[in-house]
Amino acid sequence: MSGAAPLTVLLVDDHAVMRAGFRMILEAAGDIAVIGEAADGAQALDAVARLRPDVVFMDVQMPGMDGLEATRRIVAEPSNTSAVVVVTTFDRDDYLFQALQAGASGFLLKNAGPEELTAAVRVAAAGDALLAPEVTRRVIERFAGAGEEPAPTASAPTASPPTPAASAADHGLTDREAEVLRLLARALSNAEIARELFIGDATVKTHVSNILIKLGARDRVAAVVFAHRNGLA
């Protein structure tokens, strides 16, 4: 990997000490380069436009434009290629859900260890969602629950739920793509899916990309929520 270009990171936090700590940890990994810093959301927008980092570590609570609004604007920019990982001291569901709705690729707490921080950069840069299984469950319960249809009345017939195979076909998914989607819904990474199905990592990436396109999903989290809402998981 000595000839590979390092993954580039922009640090966004209103505390200089926190940025310095992240910089020290990330650059010690050897394959990660911190190419810029910003102290608020407005500075982050400017830095992303100029530097085009692979990953943005975004604080939530900052003066002026906060991290959630900055994330929304970054993700909404058509030319944007940066993945945003929201990093906060607050393990609060409202921050988590707002961050994911804003388009963040993941969510970390600032007390995460060095290995978690460096792994987050690599995971986000690879296009994977950075969510632990327990966090994924919270997302599903919140998002999928919000999209549930009201219960049928006593006079209305109860329709049988569609089978996963039928639903997958309805949405244009192949049998293999349906398998991959079900494993995504279990919060498995690309590497774990590859091992589960005895296929290569590159093949998994192709399947995931096809799934997102066919479902019209912005990212893996959106695909997981879709799967649970539509009986595909």
Q: Is residue 216 part of a domain?
A: yes
Confidence of residue 1 (pLDDT cuts 50, 70, 90): very low
Cα–Cα distance list, 85 to 48, 57, 60, 128 (Å):
13, 5, 10, 11
Question: Are residue 81 and residue 172 in the same domain, yes or no?
Answer: no
Does 121 share its domain with 14? yes
Residue 2 lies in a domain: no
User: Angle at the Cα of 199 (from 196 to 103), degrees rounded to 5?
Assistant: 75
Q: Are residues 57 and 111 in the same domain?
A: yes
| pLDDT score for 143 | 64
Q: Do residues 111 and 51 share a domain?
A: yes
- Residue 154 covered by a domain: no
User: pLDDT tens-digit profile of 44-75?
Assistant: 999 999 999 999 999 999 999 999 999 999 99
> Of 87, 107, 130, which marks where a domain is finished?
130
Average pLDDT of the residues in 24-31: 94
**pLDDT tens track for 184-227:** 887 777 888 999 999 998 899 899 989 989 988 877 777 887 88
Residue 146 identity: A
Does any domain span residue 140? no
pLDDT digits (tens, 9 = 90+) for 104-158: 888 888 888 899 899 999 988 887 777 655 666 666 666 666 544 333 333 333 3
Residues 119 and 188 in one domain: no
Q: Domain range for residue 201?
A: 161-229
Angle at 91 between CA 85 and CA 95, to 5 degrees: 60
Name the pLDDT band for 167 (thresholds 50, 70, 90).
low
| Domain tally, the chain | 2
184: Cβ contacts below 8 Å, ≥ 6 apart: 193, 208, 211, 220, 223, 224, 227
